[in-house]
Amino acid sequence: MSEYLAAARAWLAQDPDPVTREELTALITRVEDGDDAAAADLADRFSTRLAFGTAGLRGTLGAGSNRMNRVLVAQAAAGFAAYLREKQPDATPTVVVGYDGRRNSDVFARDSVEIFAGAGLHAILLPRLLPTPVLAFAVRHLGADAGVMVTASHNPPDDNGYKVYLGGADDGAQIVSPADAEIAAHIQRVADDGDVTVLPRSVGYANAPESVVEAYVAATAAVAPAPAGAEGLRWVYTAMHGVGWETVSRVLTEAGYPAPVVVEAQIQPDGRFPTVAFPNPEEPGAMDLAFETARAADAELVIANDPDADRLAVAIPDAETDGGWRRLSGNEIGLLLGWRAARAAAAAGTGGTLACSLVSSPGLQAVAEHYGLDFRSTLTGFKWISRAPGIVFGFEEALGYLVNPDVVRDKDGISAAVALLGMAAEARGEGRTVADLLREFRETFGAFASDQISVRVSDVSEIAGIMASLRAQPPSAVGEVAVSRIDDLMRGVDGLPPGDVLRIWLEDGSRLIVRPSGTEPKLKLYLDVQASSAKKANRRLAALRAGAEGLLAALR
């Protein structure tokens, strides 16, 4: 414990934040008084540090090397600046920084631009809190060498994060290996020096002009200008206490769509996220207020963004569902948007690639083959999806969609919302609904059904144990269906980079994928089936879920 106390005192000496200084001072006092719970807390904060990887940084706010705070962010900014200078020793790299409405996002962003400027970079700060897709757009629009977005996306309220993009040959995509390890090494060197108070800072950074946001709005509105069927469309929108609404409303006006009925309690940024346990549209209960609003408005459609507006959720009326509304799965939305992109590419004769993560529905491959397009399956995350050669559309089942790759090389919940609105309005003009579009998709390509089992743990070692057990004793069957083969992506499969993923194929053509979450303490199981009809697919999916739950129970 003396080691952790020494680390805590050294941390305290360089912490510029009075809130975390007070928090850590009180914790040290409790440890010195013999408080065992405080000792465990201190060990958790200082036994390791938040790892910088391909998702950048993400963690709980608080004092310590294993938390998100101003010391850690200063180390990250200085390390990233050193990396950029190393890559361009004879130039002045440009880096643009954005931030959302989470606690301390604005503080972390300003610390970053001051440190970037102090390191001799051309640092640019976006004009106010804005969605993540605007930052991803700005990297390319401004010709920047890099970008940083301070956000924890849809994570729990007490989290924040630091997402990194690279310009130039990377086209404004998120970092991948080996850049992540190289940046992490520079950050570690800064941390080892032990005092962020001596890092040079400067207020000589630039503020991005409003024209950057205007350019994003114009490019996004052009994705799907409102068709004739949009007139009179009744729909509901929620920003999930995030930063999406201001930008979304401007895009809607420019594209010509009718204004939605908004979920008033969730429309303005609020880092406390008071109406939801988790600000993620996928989580149970997160869209309850949107459904309540939709029932009162007799709406035809519900659209939701997550707090940084890089994800899209959609719900439609469904008389068979309790409450009368059903949230579409990420795969259903992805297949509809992929179908839209494939039709456009085929009509233009331009060709291209449809891409999705390997845990997303195999239905996208069927769409690509139908229209003579290329298909690419990637590791999870848009850092991989966005790099598919010739990409015209990409998605992942976790509500992420890339519909405008020439403008934003990342998932974008706003451009995806416009594209979906365009499909819904066009169908409406023909006297049809989104449910009819889903039915037509099944009739054209077959019935693909998907499900997910997500297990949240308090001890992440449990996840590693389950993965190890599956590798040591692979199942011969899932439920009553025999396993035909297992792909262990740790060994590299189909040209994919190694990853902690097991892909289990069953003899009836069903698929079960098991992997740890990359951003949360969860184990995720992805279930996919295909059949000739929705009824048969749902029956097969129910059987697969029961088998997967039994397998999981035996491993825990």
CATH of the domain at 527: 3.30.310.50
Domain edge (last residue) among 267, 296, 327: 327
DSSP class of 198: G
| Cα three-residue angle 300-254-209, rounded to 5 degrees | 130
Range of 30's domain? 1-9+18-47
| 201 occurs within a structural domain | yes
Statement to judge: residues 76 and 121 lie in one domain: yes
Statement to judge: residues 378 and 320 lie in one domain: no
Q: Residues 6 or more apart from 319 whose CB is under 8 A from it?
A: none
Domain edge (last residue) among 189, 208, 227: 208
CA–CA dist 212, 214 (Å, integer)? 5
- Give the active site residues: 153
Statement to judge: residues 55 and 182 lie in one domain: yes
CATH of the domain at 387: 3.40.120.10
Statement to judge: residues 66 and 41 lie in one domain: no
Statement to judge: residues 79 and 176 lie in one domain: yes
Taking the CB of residue 168, how many other CB atoms lie within 10 A of it?
Answer: 15
Statement to judge: residues 65 and 26 lie in one domain: no
Statement to judge: residues 501 and 409 lie in one domain: no
DSSP class of 352: -
Reduced to 3 states (helix: H, G, I; strand: E, B; else coil), residue 504 is strand
| 418 occurs within a structural domain | yes
| 299 occurs within a structural domain | yes
| 442 occurs within a structural domain | no
| 182 occurs within a structural domain | yes
| 437 occurs within a structural domain | no
| 545 occurs within a structural domain | yes
Domain edge (last residue) among 185, 208, 231: 208
CA–CA dist 360, 344 (Å, integer)? 22
Q: Are 405 and 391 in contact (CB under 8 A)?
A: yes
Tokens 């020096």, located at residue? 193
Walk along the chain (556 residues) and give the pLDDT tens digit of each residue: 789 999 999 999 999 999 999 999 999 999 999 999 999 999 999 999 998 877 799 999 999 999 999 999 999 999 999 999 999 999 999 999 999 999 999 999 999 999 999 999 999 999 999 999 999 999 999 999 999 999 999 999 999 999 999 999 999 999 998 999 999 999 999 999 989 999 999 999 999 999 999 999 999 999 999 999 999 999 999 999 999 999 999 999 999 999 999 999 999 999 999 999 899 999 989 999 999 999 999 999 999 999 999 999 999 999 888 889 999 999 999 999 999 999 999 999 999 999 999 999 999 999 999 999 999 999 889 999 999 999 999 999 999 999 999 999 999 999 999 999 999 999 999 999 999 999 999 999 999 999 999 888 888 889 999 999 999 999 999 999 999 999 999 887 777 888 899 999 999 999 999 999 876 788 999 999 999 999 999 999 999 999 999 999 888 7
Chain centroid to Cα 292, Å, comes to 26
Statement to judge: residues 279 and 357 lie in one domain: no
Query: Do you know the residue count of the chain?
Result: 556
Tokens 């850590």, located at residue? 24
CA–CA dist 131, 246 (Å, integer)? 9
Tell me what percent of the chain is helix, strand and coil, each rounded to the nearest 5.
Answer: 45, 20, 35
Statement to judge: residues 162 and 253 lie in one domain: no
Statement to judge: residues 287 and 311 lie in one domain: yes
Torsion of CA 36, 40, 41, 47, to 10 degrees: 150
Number of structural domains in the chain: 5
Statement to judge: residues 523 and 391 lie in one domain: no
DSSP class of 387: T
pTM of the model: 0.94
Taking the CB of residue 556, how many other CB atoms lie within 10 A of it?
Answer: 11
Statement to judge: residues 76 and 4 lie in one domain: no
| 52 occurs within a structural domain | yes
Q: Are 16 and 197 in contact (CB under 8 A)?
A: yes
